[in-house]
Structure 1
Amino acid sequence: MEDFYRMLCAKLSALVDGERNPVPNMANAAALLFQDLERINWAGFYTMTDGGYLLLAPFQGKPACIQIPFGKGVCGTAAETDSTQLVDDVHSFSGHIACDAASRSEIVVPIHGRDGSVVAVLDIDSPETARFTKEDKAGLEEVARIMEKACDWH
Structure 2
Amino acid sequence: MIKRSSKQELALINRRNLGLDSVSKNDPGFSCQGMVGEFIGLYLRCEVFATKLQHYYQTDKQPSQTKLNTQSLSKSLEYFNLHFNSESLLLIYKGGSGKRGTKSARQLRNGYLHELSSADKSEIEQRHSEYVKLMKTFLVLRLKTYKAIKT
- Of Structure 1 and Structure 2, which has the larger fraction of its residues in strand? 1
- Of Structure 1 and Structure 2, which has the larger fraction of its residues in helix? 2
TM-score of the aligned structures, taking structure 2 as reference length: 0.31
TM-score of the aligned structures, taking structure 1 as reference length: 0.31
